[in-house]
Structure 1
Amino acid sequence: MSTAAPEPAEPKPAATVLLLRDEPGAGELQVFLQRRVAGMAFAGGMTVFPGGGVSTDDVPDPARWRGPDPDRFGARLGQPTPLAAALVTAAVRETFEECGVLLAARPGTEPGPLPVTTAWRDALVGRQATLPGLLDEHDLELRADLLVPWARWITPPRNPKRYDTAFLVARVPDGQVADDSTTEAVEAGWWSPADALAGYEAGDMQLMPPTLRTLQELSRHDTASGVLDAAARRDIEPITPEVRREGRVVTITLPGDPDWRYEEAR
């Protein structure tokens, strides 16, 4: 008697941020990367961009939203407006939780050096506060205008944990410092895309296919402004990698790009 294959898991909405800067002094494009704790259930030991799943609390207050309306993000990402608003909110929250950069500012001002926000961050991480609640309490606006959609990746159906992830680009605000004060990563810092790719090729850095592909794309640009300009012009189609196993070797390819391959032994 044949057994029907199990239904694929429903992808959970998530957001990740390509946090950029031009290296002080040299001006070289850099992106912030974190190496996740090896024992984590998802992407353990991998080097990733800051990000995570959408929370039920990621519902923005329209009065605290500055920038393109959520429906414009939804149109770019192919998502309904309420989910697009939640994805942008999650992107801002996760970036603040994981590296201390807050893409928010008081009305009429630009983001800059933050007051002592350790307590805000701890409250978010401990789920004792929500980002919309903190913005309201401290008279801040979520700066959606600082985020530009870059890509949308969906985990292949065969994976037990699946995510439908919006990739967004943002430049780190002047005067703010991205740090490694998160329990989810063992190290974090700024890398030029070329150096990160060299580390991957040398076996010193583990990258998942979306991270690898994105770093390859970023390496075509010299400055953060160049990436942001390119992001505004990109046509975004959902990318679901195709997986094939031959013995212990798993090969991952991308639809529409037969020359791109990612292989790993399992």
Structure 2
Amino acid sequence: MGSTGKTWKEAASVILLAGTKGSRNPGRNLHRISQSSTVPRVFDYRVLLLTRNFRGSSAGAHVFPGGAIDKADFSKSWLELFAEAGVSRDFGTLSSIKGPRPPMLVADRQLPVPNDIAFRICAIREAFEESGVLLVKKFPKYLYTTTKEDKYSSHLPQASTKETVPYGSVLSDDLPSDLLKTWRQRVHKDASQFVTLCKELRCVPDVWALAEWTNWLTPAGNPRRYDTMFYTCCLENVPHVDHDKSEMIQSQWAHPEEAIQLFCDGRINLIGPQLFELLRIARFPMLHDLHNFISRRAFLGCHRNCPKRYSMQDGAISVYEGDDLYPSESSTDEASIASLEIRGHLEETIDYSRNHCHNLNRMEFHESMSLRDYQCTIPMSCGHVTPRSLKEFQTTPKL
């Protein structure tokens, strides 16, 4: 299901952004990546980062929850469950976004569930498997009686043209730990068990709380390649996290600047897409402002990021769409993707290239392939914000 005949697998990931104002203990049961912040601004939310095990191409990397799409994410059983919960079959604007669409979301799969819904289900399922956070909305009637029924008693969203993104609903904090453990094991072994879980708990995946953020395709030359949809999900409070101790060996809540600073100090490992997106998110110290921005641009669409790599005299650069060195043809068709597979070489330095290009949208790497900086002089497409410069963090004085 994942590769559809291509040299990469299709996947979905969710960036969990949790407010700290009302959280009982944002760091409970978690490994804290730092005890004090070395950056000046105050953030009222945290981002969940999971640390991969030391196997595979992203060994030890700090990533957002996510994984490969499964045929079970397209099962007609989901449509039956949503219908039972009173949700319209067309899902409204969630499955009819009018802006630019990544190829993975417009592919004609001839499957029951719309692509836009299936990839959200995938991201929610993977977040549950890897972190234990269950992003679902309960039916109006409950299988389990809790002291927090009012929290989930509102009617489920209906199909409409009103373009809003609600805060996410988390059920995992209100369920017995042994029950969660059993279900996580079952879902990990068989993705089709996720719909069974939802049927028995009388809930549906909170697809409304996931907003499109961006789409990344792993560059050629990597042992494993993924075409991944990145979604955001804002939560009012920090939920309990229990990483799976198999694929993920640590779990951390950190504010964006803290994570970037620790990367610059060599204390954590962030791969390209995660660092790029944290540099964007770091423009918003307040969750309310970030949530408003997410809601404003959620239905404007997104492009697939397909970096083109050039080796230079003193390192390398990865250029993205809009950069003067990016291939002029569209990056959405297979012929264009093939042209990006070939790494180019330029007989010039990184500084020379930067100073002689007007439109910049690139990451610069030292000869050791450690990240040097991100440069951007063009507006982002689809209403997005430009990432902050890495230089801001590399020059931050130590306290």
Q: TM-score under structure 2 normalisation? A: 0.58
Partner of 1:261: 363
Partner of 1:115: 175
Check if 1:33 corresponds to 2:49: yes
1-structure distance, mates of 2:290, 2:6: 33
Task: Identify which of 76, 82, 90 aligns with 2:114.
Answer: 82
SS state at 2:243 partner: coil
Determine the structure 2 residue equivalent to 1:243. 309
1:100 positional shift: 0.9
Q: How far is 1:87 from its partner?
A: 0.7
Q: Secondary structure at the match of 2:280?
A: helix
Cα separation, partners in 2 of 1:10 and 1:84, compared to 1, 3 Å = farther
Equivalent position amino acid for 1:71 in 2: S
State the match for 1:100 in structure 2.
132
1:147 aligns with 2:164: no
Cα distance in structure 2, aligned partners of 1:160 and 1:74: 34
Structure 1's 195 and 184: CA in aligned 2 closer, same or farther, altered over 3 A?
same
Cα RMSD of the aligned pairs, angstroms, is: 2.8
Aligned to 2:123: 91
Write out aligned runs for 1:1-266 (5 A).
9-24=6-21, 28-39=44-55, 41-59=56-74, 61-65=78-82, 68-69=91-92, 70-72=94-96, 77-78=101-102, 79-80=105-106, 82-108=114-140, 109=152, 111=169, 112=171, 113-116=173-176, 117-127=180-190, 129-172=192-235, 174=237, 176-234=239-297, 235=300, 236-246=302-312, 249-257=315-323, 258-263=360-365, 265=368
Instruction: Give SS of 1:43's match.
Output: coil
Q: 2-side partners of 1:38 and 1:52: how far apart?
A: 17
CA distance in 2, matches of 1:133, 1:73: 29
Which secondary structure does the structure 2 equivalent of 1:181 belong to?
A: coil
The offset of 1:133, in angstroms, is 2.0
**With structure 1 as the length reference, what TM-score do the two structures score?**
0.85
> What SS does the aligned partner of 1:57 have?
helix
C-alpha spacing 1:226/1:161, structure 2 compared with 1 (3 Å): same
Three-state SS of the structure 2 residue aligned to 1:196 is helix
CA contact (8 A) 2:135 2:205 kept: yes
CA offset at residue 237 of structure 1? 1.4
Give, in angstroms, the shift of residue 173 of structure 1.
6.1
Instruction: Confirm or deny: 8 A CA contact 2:21 2:237 kept in the other structure.
Output: no
Number of equivalenced pairs: 258
Q: Residue 246 of structure 1: CA displacement? A: 4.7
Q: Deviations over 1:181-225 (max 9, x none)?
A: 331122111011001110111111211111111000010012333
Secondary structure of the structure 2 residue equivalent to 1:203: coil
Deviation at 1:139, TM superposition (A): 1.4
Matches of 1:172 and 1:233 in 2, distance apart? 17
Residue 73 of structure 1, CA deviation: 5.8
Show CA shifts across 1:218-247 (max 9, x none). 100123332232223334111111212358
User: Which stretch shows the higher mean deviation, 52-61 or 178-187?
Assistant: 178-187
User: 1:28 offset after TM fit, Å?
Assistant: 1.8
Cα distance in structure 1, aligned partners of 2:241 and 2:294: 22
Contiguous gaps of at least 5 residues in structure 1: 1-7
Question: 2: distance between equivalents of 1:247 and 1:163?
Answer: 29
- Cα deviation for residue 263 of structure 1 reads 1.8
Q: Identify if the C-alpha distance between structure 1 residues 144 and 178 changes in structure 2 by more than 3 Å, giving closer, same or farther.
A: same
Helix, strand or coil at the partner of 2:74: coil
Identity of aligned residues (%): 24
Larger mean CA deviation between 52-61 and 175-184 belongs to 175-184
Superposed displacement of residue 125, structure 1: 1.4
* Contact 1:37–1:185, Cα closer than 8 Å, also in 2: yes
Q: Specify whether residues 105 and 72 from structure 1 end up closer, same or farther in structure 2 by C-alpha distance, changes over 3 A only.
A: same
Q: 1:76 to 1:63 in 2, by over 3 A?
A: farther
| Greater RCO structure (CA 8 Å; 6+ sep) | 1
Q: Greater strand share, 1 or 2?
A: 1
Q: Is the 8 A contact 1:95 1:102 kept in 2?
A: yes
Would the alpha carbon gap of residues 74 and 102 (structure 1) be closer, same or farther in structure 2, given more than 3 Å must change?
farther
Q: Tell me the distance in 2 between the aligned counterparts of 1:71 and 1:131.
A: 21
Shift of 1:15: 0.6
